[in-house]
Amino acid sequence: MKHSSISKISLEGREFLVKRDDLIDRHLAGNKYRKLYTLLQTPKEKYTKIISYGGTQSNAMLALAALCQQKSWEFIYYTKPLSGVQKENEVGNYYEALTLGMKHIEIEQELYKDFIASLRINMDDKTSIVDQGGADQAAQKGLEVLAQEVRAQKEILEKNNITSLATPSGTGTTALFLALSLPEYTIYTTPSIGDKEYLQTQMLSLVKELPKNLIILEPKRKYHFAKLYKEFYELYNKLKDSGIEFDLLYAPQMWQTLLEQTTESILYIHSGGVTGNASMLARYAKKFNAT
């Protein structure tokens, strides 16, 4: 696998570098590629089935579907019950994952929590479970590989006076392991789900102590995950005009906090997720009458 490239963009009068993890693969890209790296390196023969669970917009779900197709592994994905509208949608991650062979199973709301908790009890050794969003110790290796790539690209970083990196958080797995793997850089992130305290708690389920070089920026106003915000849509379009498409769920808030609260040169690690934009863009078009 060759290193993902680095692009330069200008945004609101500032220059940023972007590590193009979005270009790694159509489905298995961004931080999901990094987090699933260990599984991707696993020989086909080791498993016959992968089980995961979570939301149906999930980028991790789509990445796993692509990975399992490559490996000829069965992929079972559990969610809470879906609405008919969601099922009929012919764009977005859910639709694409089904196309890649994902078997989707809905679990009743009341049973869901216990069902997920019991998944590991009856597991055979040809099956592997990937926790929601790939929030897993196994993610560490892939982020060490990313860190090695960044070090190998040090010349570009030095030329642009880069001392800080940034990437948005859901579970915080990516930002945490990146910060641990690159102690010589400041790593900025922002909580897309919940607040700073919630994100820290999530991270502390993976490690005992948070690295000092990890800085969690909170936006000035509170945003709710997967809701639509005009300023996010505008920022998405500005970024797109500058030459790179980012995802509409995580990236806008990260860019917003960087613009608001930092002044130095930054390398943004593109976290992928662009395939999920089709369904988000349809929602934005409906809400703001945009095209």
Ligand X SMILES: *Cc1c(COP(=O)(O)O)cnc(C)c1O
Interacting residue ranges for ligand X, rule: CB under 6 A: 30-32, 59-60, 133, 168-175, 247, 250, 271-273
Query: Which SS3 state, helix, strand or coil, does residue 28 take?
Result: coil
Q: Cα–Cα distance between 65 and 107 in angstroms, integer? A: 19
Distance of closest approach, residue 280 Cβ to ligand X, in angstroms: 11
Q: Which residues are catalytic?
A: 58
Q: Which is nearer to ligand X, 160 or 278 (CB)?
A: 278
Rounded Cα distance between 275 and 291, Å, is 17
> Smaller CB distance to ligand X: residue 92 or 273?
273
Shortest reach from residue 94's CB to ligand X, in Å: 14
CB closer to ligand X out of 79 and 171 = 171
Q: CA-CA distance, 268 to 175, in Å (whole number)?
A: 11
How far, in Å, CA of 71 to CA of 77, rounded? 16
Our measurement of the distance from residue 118's CA atom to the centroid of its chain's CA atoms, rounded to an integer in Å, reads 26
Pair of tokens at residue 88 = 């009929």
With respect to ligand X, which residue has the nearer C-beta, 52 or 171? Answer: 171
Q: Closest CB to ligand X belongs to which residue?
A: 273
Cα distances (Å, whole numbers) of residue 151 to 8, 144, 158: 18, 11, 10
CB of 272 to ligand X, least distance (A): 5
**Number of C-beta neighbours around residue 67 at 10 A:** 23
Cβ-based nearer residue to ligand X, 92 or 133: 133
DSSP state of 121: T
**Nearest-approach distance from CB 138 to ligand X, in angstroms:** 12
Nearest distance in Å: CB 28, ligand X = 12
Q: Minimum distance from CB of 142 to ligand X (Å)?
A: 11
The terminus-to-terminus CA distance of the chain in angstroms comes to 37
Query: Cβ contacts of residue 19 below 8 Å, gap of 6+?
Result: 4, 5, 6, 149, 150, 153, 267, 268, 269, 270
Number of C-beta neighbours around residue 126 at 10 A = 12
Nearer to ligand X, 68 or 135 (CB): 135
Cα 237 to its chain centre, rounded Å, is 20
